[in-house]
Amino acid sequence: MTTTFTINGQPYTANLTNLPPDITLNTFIREHAQLTATKFMCQEGGCGVCICVLRDGQRSWAVNSCLTLLNSCSQLEIVTSEGLGNKSSGYHPIQKRLAQLNGSQCGYCSPGMVMNMHGLLESRGGQVTMAEVENAFGGNICRCTGYRPILDAMKSFAADSNIQLPAECVADIEDLNMRTRKQCPKTGKRCAGNCVRSNLIYDDGSQWHWPKTLVELFEALEKVGEQEEFMLVAGNTAHGVYRRSPDTPRHFIDVRGVGELQEHSSDAQQLKLGANLSLSQAMDIVKDTSQQAGFEYLQQLWQHLDLIANVPVRNSGTLAGNIAIKKQHPEFPSDVHISFEALNVHVLASINAKEQQQMPLADYLSSKDRKLVLKAFLLPAYPKEKYIYESYKIMPRAQNAHAYVNAAFLLELGAESQVKSARICFGGIRPDFVHATAIEELLLGRNPFDNAWLEQAFAKLSTLLQPDEVLPDASAAYRVSLAGGLLYKFLLKHAPAASVNDAFRSGGKLLERALSSGTQVYQTKKENYPVTQAVQKVESMIQCSGEATYMNDVLTTTNTLHCAFVGATKVGASIEQIDTTEALRQPGVIAFYSAKDVPGSNTFTDPTFGYEPEEIFCATRVRYYEQPVGLVVALSAERAQRAAKLVKITYSQSQLLRPVLPSLSDVLDMSPLDSSLIIQMAKPKPGKFQCSAEPDVSVRGVFQMGLQYHFSMEPQTTVAMPFEDGLKIYSATQWMDHTQSVIAHMLQLKAKDVQLQVRRLGGGYGSKITRGNQVACAASLAAHKLNRPVRFIQSLESMMDANGKRWACRSDYQFHALNSGKIVGLQNDFYEDAGWNTNENPVTGHSKFTAANCYDFNVANHKITGNAVLTDAPSSTWCRAPGAVEGIAMIENIVEHVAFVVERDSAEVRLLNIAKDNKMTELLPQFLKSREYHARRQEIEAHNANNRWTKRGLGLSITEYPIIYVGQYAATVTIYHVDGTVVVTHGGIEMGQGMNTKVAQVAAFTLGIELSYIKIESSDTINGANSMVTGGAVSSESLCFAVRKACETLNKRLQPMKKKGVGWEETVQAAFAASINLIASDHYKEGDMQNYHVYGMALTEIELDVLTGSNQIRRVDLLEDAGESLSPYIDIGQIEGAFVMCLGYWLSELLIYERQTGRLLTNRTWNYKPPGAKDIPIDFRVEMVQNPQASSAGFMSSKATGEPPCCLAVSVIFALQQALQSARKDAGLPREWVRLGAPTTPEILLLNAGHDIKSFRLK
């Protein structure tokens, strides 16, 4: 059987019989249509890189192509980014706007951003508001930009836009090419939706059904045997929550075409919503109906539905689908369920086409009949004169997250606010808990706004709620307090004004987020243009169209194979046997390789580069959960991943004489402490510790920082291709030299026979310095063994399980200070989580180098000891600003603690302790004055004094960041005599940091030509041989240095040819005619430039909802001494992105291991939460300043910007500390420092706020 559809206007006919029944649209687009603009990463609708737009005869909508099944796309129009606009047909205004407003850095997320915006505009007929735009990007993750320029670009299309646009950005709305009319791919006429599809039986016996009526739906269900699995398919979005087992259902029944399930109607008594309406369709109906009398409460329901997942998921997922997840998985905190249950929604359900029954939603959920089909939901009218209704969802971040706890409350009030009926519902407590029945009963006949009732009710609630304890869910204590806080918030909002203390009133509202905005201030130097000029990133246009090539976009032959790792699951044991029988029996599985198949060195870290060996495939003791032990090779990635789960491993008895210890806390909290796991690496300076003066106070403290996963949008990727007598490798690596070396040693080849090429990376942040070598080696081994191209894209779960993260850190400190705040002595013993070995440790590097920051200490009064701690986890690795994030945070936290103890302003304490000759003594006072620091502190104190349940804080942090040049970098500049155009190749890796743009600017400036003459080609191990890793914030400057040297060589050669009035092209042609060499190579070497410091400071203002722990960043002022920026747009983007990445570190990115096994429990977008578009500062002000005395260090007086701002994000927890202290004071707690760290989640904040739900009062 075939199915037809169009992609970008091109008709496609797919032979479904030859494709898997659960093949996704993404797989077809990329592997069959070979359109690579549409990316993939998480494969669960959580990152947004896969978004494309679908059209039928009535509407357009954005979807996650990684979830959308191809068999559900019959007769649809599919639009991808390269179809929206490209270099051949012209770029679309959205693509151009995103590029021109600097919204693309690594570019991997850019096509998804473009298509999400296009879907929004097309679905709304081009008419959207800025608020709608900003709200629509909850499902698009960007790790590079910090979102601000992306949101600016997209909001510029809004009808109420106030975004200032450059002249070249102005586009007529007609250019947006809005379309909702669809043509049939068969006839070319407008689609009538009449194509007949029946069912398809696959060779393995599985079936796909396409019913168009309820009768046909039940006919399909009749074909399902009692023991057979089946799935009703609408959007397949449940796969993003609960992964299906490798044994796919035998029957797929596509219910999208059943019109009876999408009907809706309303009258004065009820609203009827078809069960198969998408969440987005239901939201539109709900919003419209909320204008009718009796249905005003639907506005609140709309707001709650808007918090479910993200726009593309809501466009595909249905009401019935959401309830179906709840039915199959009672622990699922369904927002549809909790809202509908509180509203006493009934359902219409059928067991056959002729009969239907109306029943409460709870009865449907408890029904054992698996073929009972939901037809509709019936929502009653609730006149606002009699009923009050609210619902709540508290999440780890603002959007696209499931609830810690969700709740919905409906009260029917009679005379004098007496409760006639009550529905009090909570989700996220435990699977069998929905109604707080005892509270509902207690409410009947009572006034809920009476303090006596409150005291009784919350005392009962605190014992009634008994949450389960299941990791990685939040603690039971938090969920009890949160649930109580939500009920209290409901009562505060609706209580008569006279019944509520004015200071309590703000607790009745959730935090209200304004539209975000930002300002950027920088200087340029026109005499150096295009250097210092604010220019568009050179690759930005092709990145936004999707034409930019990443490693997984390399096209190969049809005989390409795919891979998946097989992981070990018994930490501490040795592998005795690997049984691959069942795996190799699966159709399309080609081979399995393990350590015994490696002809050379079984390591992906080369000892000649100073590394301890780390095994490609575990051959000895299992060091951590999911450590790769082998590789399955198959015809598709899906088949490889399924077969990998069938490999059976037999283990020896564990060799560990202790429990599994996967985290730093697990080791340091042991009693007794296992000293063999702690390696002292940074010793204190010689001499006895001695304070510089007699201290007034001496205080001990502990400061803890967790792991952070890099979350680069491009997965670890390698395409290995046999070529003549060697291999061509396309690898997403930050260090070609190292990758080439480990592959050559593994295969016992010479380096000349292993050639790498890297066009660009979709983000790195340190994750691809060495960790990607494991994938590169595995793919290369398979390609070498099988003599076929091999493509290995590591899954998100596998990456998070097996790849190292930022080193977690604990600081045990004691400070000695005067009452003035002057620190006269400091001892700091810090411990960093190495994972199972100490490769890539920052302990002796930036953790130690930055531990004093810019403060005044001497050898005697400042003693630091740095320790690496071995854990049963993947070896930790470099992560953006490695060591410096921890080092700066440790000392800044200590300064804050000092200020708290001596009761001084922390800015005052900083100024008192900064070394007298340090530039910070000049920069910080100016910064504080220009940002009205003291006036804002007073405003915050006044707010906190007048508000019991919302608090604000203002946090300050400063950094003196050391930039240390290392290694060497090669570059080659080639001038073409034909037209004078120039190609530059180099040994660096463009990964979003703007390296290529800066290199192009320097080449154009040095040669004296227009920037348009310059092109940067792919990096490879021929022109970029022997080059150092791209990282540490120094690579761009080093390569600019190398390129300038090469250009200067060319200038010297061209000098004799230069004549007055003769242009560049003529000069080049004359040089060619004279046989002058137009190719020059040079390199940067260590010592060519001086090390220097970058100075930065940030003020972060937050607002805290004390009742929930939720918080938002109201404003950030960030200033960085950036020297003379080579490319201001690039550097502003680096500053914003680095700061926001580490906001995630301090607020939401929580990694949790299961202690018994060492398994990482937060290894997906479902439960690991980087910041989203509505988690960034509402008001984001960034300024780059040049020191009054221009720096002689750095390249052309520039300074690095990619890493120092990471160290400033710690200011957010200092602001939260202030807010928390005000809350604790109001709670009557003694003044006491609260240990906050990374991450400081809503759970930590609420549990430290000091109140007890039993103490809630209205007045």
The tens digit of pLDDT for each residue in 1087-1129 reads 999 999 999 999 999 999 999 999 999 999 999 999 999 999 9
Q: Report the pLDDT averaged over residues 295-299.
A: 99
CB atoms within 10 A of CB 1012: 11
Rg (C-alpha) for the chain, rounded Å, is: 31
Given this model, what pLDDT does residue 896 score? 99
348 bridge partner residues: 358, 376
Round to whole Å and give the CA distance between 1022 and 1220.
57
DSSP per residue over 788-823, as a string? S-EEEE--HHHHHHHS--SPPEEEEEEEEE-TTS-E
Distant-in-sequence, close-in-space partners of 1060: CB < 8 Å, separation ≥ 6: none
Handedness of CA 771, 772, 773, 777 (dihedral sign): positive
> Of the candidates 417, 338, 344, which has an alpha carbon nearest to the alpha carbon of residue 385?
417
Does the structure show a pLDDT above 70 at 173?
no
Q: Report the pLDDT averaged over residues 1022-1035.
A: 95
Does the structure show a pLDDT above 50 at 180?
no
- Model confidence, pTM: 0.97
Read off the DSSP letter of residue 193: S
DSSP per residue over 231-272, as a string? EEESS-GGGGTSPPPSS--SEEEE-TT-GGGG-EEE-SSEEE
Given this model, what pLDDT does residue 227 score? 87
- Residue 992 and residue 761 in contact, taking contact as beta carbons nearer than 8 Å: yes
Round to whole Å and give the CA distance between 125 and 127.
6
Distant-in-sequence, close-in-space partners of 1098: CB < 8 Å, separation ≥ 6: 956, 957, 958, 1116, 1117, 1118, 1119, 1139, 1205, 1208, 1209, 1211
Query: 590 by DSSP, 3-state: which?
Result: strand
Does the structure show a pLDDT above 60 at 1069?
yes
Q: Which two tokens stand for residue 538?
A: 């050179």
Element counts in the chain: helices (H) and strands (E): 34, 41
Q: Report the pLDDT averaged over residues 408-418.
A: 96
Given this model, what pLDDT does residue 249 score? 87
**Whole-number mean pLDDT of the chain?**
96
- Residue 5 and residue 73 in contact, taking contact as beta carbons nearer than 8 Å: yes
The b/e string for 932-954 (b: 16+ C-beta within 10 A; e otherwise) is: ebeebbeebeebbeebbbbbbbb
Q: What is the pLDDT of residues 424-452, one digit of tens each?
A: 999 999 999 999 999 999 999 999 999 99
Write out the binding residues. Answer: 42, 47, 50, 66, 106, 109, 142, 144, 374, 393, 734, 880, 1032
Round to whole Å and give the CA distance between 1253 and 1259.
15
Given this model, what pLDDT does residue 1189 score? 53
Query: Pairing state of beta strands 790-793 and 717-723?
Result: antiparallel
CB atoms within 10 A of CB 167: 5
Using CB atoms within 10 Å of the CB of residue 463, give its burial: 0 to 12 exposed, 13 to 18 middle, 19+ buried. Answer: exposed
State how far the alpha carbon of 302 is from the alpha carbons of 241, 282, 489, 633, 777, in Å.
Answer: 22, 9, 19, 47, 50
Given this model, what pLDDT does residue 461 score? 96
Does the structure show a pLDDT above 70 at 392?
yes
- Residue 424 and residue 435 in contact, taking contact as beta carbons nearer than 8 Å: yes
Does the structure show a pLDDT above 60 at 1191?
no
Given this model, what pLDDT does residue 1003 score? 99
Q: Map 1160-1208 to HEC letters.
A: ECCCCCCCCCCCCCCCCCCEEEEEEECCCCCCCCCHHHECCCCCHHHHH
Q: What is the pLDDT of residues 615-663, one digit of tens each?
A: 999 998 999 999 999 999 999 999 999 999 999 999 999 888 899 999 9
Distant-in-sequence, close-in-space partners of 915: CB < 8 Å, separation ≥ 6: 854, 855, 856, 921
Distant-in-sequence, close-in-space partners of 354: CB < 8 Å, separation ≥ 6: none
Which residue do the tokens 């797929």 mark?
252
Q: Report the pLDDT averaged over residues 550-577.
A: 96
Using CB atoms within 10 Å of the CB of residue 1087, give its burial: 0 to 12 exposed, 13 to 18 middle, 19+ buried. Answer: exposed
DSSP per residue over 739-753, as a string? HHHHHHHHHT--GGG
Which residue do the tokens 């990374």 mark?
1238
Angle at 257 between CA 254 and CA 258, to 5 degrees: 95
Catalytic positions: 1203
Given this model, what pLDDT does residue 1186 score? 78
Given this model, what pLDDT does residue 191 score? 47
Does the structure show a pLDDT above 70 at 192?
no
Round to whole Å and give the CA distance between 129 and 658.
59
- Residue 1136 and residue 1122 in contact, taking contact as beta carbons nearer than 8 Å: no
Q: What structural domains does the chain harbor?
A: 2-176 (1.10.150.120), 195-331+344-381 (3.30.465.10), 382-500 (3.30.390.50), 919-962+1091-1251 (3.30.365.10), 969-1084 (3.30.365.10)
Does the structure show a pLDDT above 70 at 184?
no
pLDDT confidence bin for 248, thresholds 50/70/90: confident
Q: What is the pLDDT of residues 690-748, one digit of tens each?
A: 999 999 999 999 999 999 999 999 999 999 999 998 999 999 999 999 999 999 999 99
Write out the binding residues for Mo-molybdopterin. Answer: 734, 880, 1032
Does the structure show a pLDDT above 50 at 154?
yes
Q: Give residue 205's region: left, alpha or beta (phi > 0; psi -120 to 50).
A: left
Round to whole Å and give the CA distance between 1094 and 905.
25
792 bridge partner residues: 718
Distant-in-sequence, close-in-space partners of 476: CB < 8 Å, separation ≥ 6: 466, 467, 468, 469
Q: Across 683-760, where does the E strand assignment appear?
A: 697-705, 717-723, 726-731, 754-758
Does the structure show a pLDDT above 50 at 88?
yes
